[in-house]
Structure 1
Amino acid sequence: MSELPGIALDDWHARGLAMDFRGHTIRYWVAGAEDAEPLLLIHGFPTASWDWHYLWAPLAERYRVIACDMLGFGYSAKPRGHDYSLLEQADLQQALLAHLGEQRPLHVLAHDYGDSVAQEMIARHQDGRVKLASCVFLNGGLFPETHHPVRVQKLLLGPLGPLVGRLFSRRKLAQSFARIFGPRSQASDAELDALWQLVKYNNGPAVMHRLIRYMPERRQQRERWVTAMQATTVPMRVIDGAFDPISGAHMVARYRELIADADTVLLDDIGHYPQLEAPQQVLEHYLQFVEGTRSDDA
């Protein structure tokens, strides 16, 4: 049970705002003082920005926190037949910032699928197309060679992907999450109910086989993204649930091999969703990191 109170899904939904992105309605959330430093939260697959609900209020005390449900996720539009891509989701993040008039250097906190979007934003930072102040990654497939997808993800990528998506259910979500959460930090029934509501909203399972194409896209972009991460001066940290079979301790080991002076935190017995499983620890390690980057700048 989290020490942080969190936000009930209905309350979260009620706080959402809407914007248009290329003809599609995107739900987004903003909190905190307008003059506070901006912090962009980027969620993972197959869930949505509610993943951050435990951290939302504590972070909003210090930052102008910004998050959206990406195209195809949560309460945002889920167009059928759409060619979803990580590059387009990075375009969406930039469109959201433009919609809010936010032009200051940006802190980023990302998870899972969102890690790949954040990697693209680091590459764009290197190209001068966006300005980042820092980037923190939670469990995600930063390197395709260390990403171990669960069975349903593999099936979604295959020829039966559309059928697998349509047959996806709360029971299958619970089965998958039971394997990827830590042994003592399993999702409650109430959390699973909420996460399933977000997945199934607007018939989300019908587009899951299209969203999953991020996995080959990661392979296509790997060299560009890793090169940008190796070259950047943007402060980076990984906060990772070590128990995670998808992108746990084995991914962090690879990160330490590839990134000079790697700043990494491993959370023992925590799985793939540290912001839900151990939000207090994530908050403490996140704030410690950002405070450290400020003292380095002083």
Structure 2
Amino acid sequence: MEQQIPGIRDGTAAGTGAPVLEEWQQGGKWFTYEGHAIFSRMAGRGEPLVLMHGFPTASWDWNRIWPMLVQNNNVLALDFLGFGFSDKPREHAYSIEDQADLVQGLLEGLGLESVHLLAHDYGCSVAQELLAREQEGVLPFQVASVCFLNGALFPEVHRPLMIQRLLRSPFGGLLGRALTRRSFERSFLKLFGSKSLPDQRDMDDFWHLLTYNNGRGILHHLIQFMEDRRCHRHRWVSALQNATQPMRLISGMADPVSGAAMALRYQEMIPGADVVQLRNVGHYPHFESPWEVFCAYRDFRKHR
């Protein structure tokens, strides 16, 4: 049965193209989670579809595919706590479980009975946690399907960048606060396919979202999700292996962090694995090749 998410607003121009960052922010809404303001976007008609972004970016990552998705889905995207336009409390104990609590609380508050999940990177771990909770019988809604984009679903084959390793070190707090635009770009651009690099305006937007509201000061706290993945590895992998709903992995194979090796591991570990491989696409397939990702996702949902 089709469900309508209350309070829909669309910041695009009649859905004709991807919004610029200012429009994205102006078209959003904030809700409160444990006293913190969380940025969200809602638009479209159809079954509820929740978009969950990666580290260290924000829901803005979805802007190029957003106009396509809202045509046939009731789309909800949010900036996780500590990311993008959401609050970034300095002393908060950030964790994947906490972000899953945030998503669960929002969806429960909206009264949704069933949702589809489309997750990237960090968001993939949140999706795994939600799947585990559903299998444990503690999730108040049904996960109808899950589509993953380039996430570290299996931490043993994850290859973090050097800057990520350093952020986890005892000097991580100092490194984050001292991070410059140049050093960020040098590391960030390694994640993309050679034919789909962000332009200068894109990098302006990514940098703005990262540094918004003292974002550099908490990077060393956010990066602890890598330890969460290690600690919860068995539970989260089991959630994938025991899932009964349709799942698909759309993998940018040129991703040096969680690309080809992660796709191969997924095929080895998941019974009847459904994997779509995108050649010459890096860690951000929905940003680098939005039409390919949309077609792969549309096909996934159409045949389920």
Are the aligned partners of 1:170 and 1:193 in contact in 2 as well (CA < 8 Å)? no
Instruction: Give the alignment of 1:74-223 within 5 angstroms.
Output: 74-101=84-111, 103-128=112-137, 129=139, 130-223=141-234
Distance 2:252 2:192 in 1: 9
Q: TM-score of the superposition, structure 2-length normalised?
A: 0.93
Q: Is the 8 A contact 2:17 2:67 kept in 1?
A: no
1:281 deviation in Å? 0.2
Q: Specify the code of the residue in structure 1 equivalent to 2:277.
A: L
2:36 to 17, 21, 24: 24
In structure 2, the residue corresponding to 1:227 is in which secondary structure?
helix
Q: CA RMSD in A?
A: 1.0
Q: Is the 8 A contact 2:145 2:245 kept in 1?
A: yes
Larger proportion of helix: 1
Preserved contact between residue 180 and residue 245 of structure 1 (Cα < 8 Å): yes
Which stretch shows the higher mean deviation, 166-175 or 64-73?
166-175
* Residue 69 (structure 2) aligned to one of 48, 56, 59: 59
Count of aligned pairs between the two proteins = 287
* Cα offset, 1:96, TM superposition: 1.5
Q: Which moved more, 1:272-281 or 1:119-128?
A: 119-128
The alignment's TM-score, normalised by the length of structure 1, stands at 0.94
What's the offset of the Cα at 1:46? Answer: 0.2
Q: Indicate the residue corresponding to 1:296 in structure 2.
A: none
Secondary structure, counterpart of 2:64 in structure 1 = helix
Does residue 291 (structure 1) correspond to residue 302 (structure 2)? The answer is: yes
Question: 5+ residue gaps in structure 2?
Answer: 1-15
Distance 1:65 1:169 in 2: 34
Q: 2:20 aligns with which of 1, 8, 16?
A: 8
Shift of 1:56: 1.1
> Does the aligned pair in 2 maintain the 1:170–1:192 contact within 8 Å?
no
Residue ranges of structure 1 left out of the alignment (5+ in a row) = 294-298
Per-residue CA deviations over 1:175-196 (Å, capped at 9, x if unaligned) read 1122110011111111010011
State the partner residue of 1:273: 284
Query: 1 CA distance for matches of 2:199 and 2:110?
Result: 35
Identity %: 48
